[in-house]
Structure formats: structure tokens, C-alpha cells
């Protein structure tokens, strides 16, 4: 289960290197992990081209994600709504990207 801490804007376009279209929303999450003090942060890339529909998620919701054996997102469901209409009170002042692509 992942705790949603941020939701990026939907990004669409065509990749300059491959010419392939892209259409995705980045969902920023945290979750507890073995042998880690605190939580682990992860960016879940939700592709709108995969035939999936992005549920109405909000910051603070708990989501469940499933991947296929190649690591592609196969599903995303809301496990628990936060009920917190104001979010978590987190202000993100700068977007950081890793430079990795999937």
C-alpha cells in the first residue's frame, strides 16, 4: 500500500528521440519497507495510453498498485480515501526528476 503525497500534472506529447507518443501522470508516494528507518519514496508513472483509467485520487489517499512481471503498471486502485480535503499541508516548491526513463 502506498500513501499518496503528491500528484503531478498530466503530461502529453511526442518523444523527440523515438517519435512515440506519451501521456502520463506522475503520482508521488511513500511506503514502509524492511530494513528502512522511516519510509521509502517512489514515483508511480501512470500511463493513460495503457487503457487504464486513473481513479479520482487525492493527496493523503492510500492506493494499491499492481505491476506485471516486466515492471509495467497494470492497475491502480484506491484502498482508502483520506477524507482530508486540504491534503497533507505539504508545499512542493521545486520539481525534481531523476532523469531515468521507463
Looking at residue 23, its pLDDT comes to 94
From CA 37, how far away is CA 80, in angstroms rounded? 24
Nearest to 73 by CA among 26, 31, 20, 17: 26
Print the domain residue range for 76.
Answer: 2-80
Looking at residue 84, its pLDDT comes to 58
User: What is the per-residue DSSP string for the chain?
Assistant: -EEEEEEPPPEEEE-TTT--EEEEEEEEEEE--TT-SS-EEEEEEEEGGGS-------TT-EEEEEE-TTS-EEEEEEEE----TTTT-----S----S---
Q: Is residue 98 part of a domain?
A: no
37 has pLDDT over 50: yes
Looking at residue 94, its pLDDT comes to 36
Q: Is residue 99 part of a domain?
A: no
96 has pLDDT over 70: no
Overall domain count for the chain: 1
Mean pLDDT of 28-57: 90
Q: Is the pTM of this model over 0.85?
A: no
Amino acid at each position: 500500500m502506498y500513501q499518496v503525497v503528491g500528484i503531478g500534472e498530466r503530461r502529453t506529447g511526442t518523444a523527440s528521440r523515438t517519435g512515440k507518443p506519451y501521456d502520463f501522470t506522475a503520482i508521488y508516494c511513500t511506503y514502509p519497507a524492511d530494513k528502512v528507518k522511516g519510509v521509502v519514496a517512489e514515483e508511480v508513472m501512470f500511463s493513460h495510453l495503457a487503457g487504464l483509467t486513473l481513479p479520482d485520487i487525492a493527496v493523503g489517499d492510500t492506493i494499491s498498485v499492481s505491476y506485471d512481471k516486466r515492471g509495467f503498471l497494470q492497475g491502480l486502485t484506491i484502498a482508502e480515501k483520506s477524507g482530508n480535503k486540504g491534503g497533507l499541508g505539504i508545499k512542493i516548491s521545486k520539481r525534481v526528476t531523476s532523469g531515468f526513463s521507463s
